[in-house]
A and B are shown apart, each in its own frame.
Chain A
Amino acid sequence: MKDFQFLFTAWICVWAVFFLYETTVARRISKLRDELNRLKQQLRES
Chain B
Amino acid sequence: MKSRIALAAFTAALIICAGYLALYVAPVDIRQGQIYRIFYFHISAWVSTFTAFTIVFVSNVAYLATRRQRWDSLGVSAAEVGIACCSIGLITGPLWGKPVWGIWWTWDARLTTTFIMWLMYISYLMLRGLLEDPRHRASLSAVFGIFAFLDVPLVYMSNRLFRTQHPGPVFFGGPDSSVDPRMTHVLLVCMIAVLVIMIPVLVDRYRVECMRNEVEELRQEIELRSLDAQSRPAPRTVKEAL
B contact patch SS: helix
A contact patch SS: helix
Size band of the interface chain A makes with B: 20 to 34
Distance from B105 Cβ to chain A, minimum over Cβ atoms (Å): 14
Question: Total contacts A to B, CB within 8 angstroms?
Answer: 81
Closest B residue, CB atoms, query A9:
B95
Roughly how many angstroms separate A23 CA and B53 CA in the complex, as a whole number?
22
B197 contacts across to A, CB distance below 8 A:
18
Interface residues of A in 26-46 (CB under 8 A from B): 26, 28-29, 32-33, 35-36, 39-40, 42-43, 46
Closest A residue, CB atoms, query B197:
A18
B218 contacts across to A, CB distance below 8 A:
36, 39-40, 43
Roughly how many angstroms separate A39 CA and B45 CA in the complex, as a whole number?
39
Q: Looking at the complex, which of B29-37, B56-64, B109-117, B175-183 is the stretch in contact with chain A?
A: B29-37
When the two chains form their complex, are residues A3 and B88 in contact, meaning their CB atoms are under 8 A apart? Answer: no
When the two chains form their complex, are residues A18 and B211 in contact, meaning their CB atoms are under 8 A apart? Answer: no
Residue B38 lies at the interface, judged by CB distance under 8 Å to chain A: yes
When the two chains form their complex, are residues A11 and B201 in contact, meaning their CB atoms are under 8 A apart? Answer: no
Instruction: Give B residues with C-beta under 8 Å from A.
Output: 33-35, 37-38, 41-42, 45, 81, 84, 87-88, 91-92, 95-96, 98-99, 197, 201, 204-205, 207-208, 211-212, 214-215, 218-219, 221-222, 225-226, 229
Instruction: Give A residues with C-beta under 8 Å from B.
Output: 2-4, 6-7, 9-11, 13-14, 17-18, 21-22, 25-26, 28-29, 32-33, 35-36, 39-40, 42-43, 46
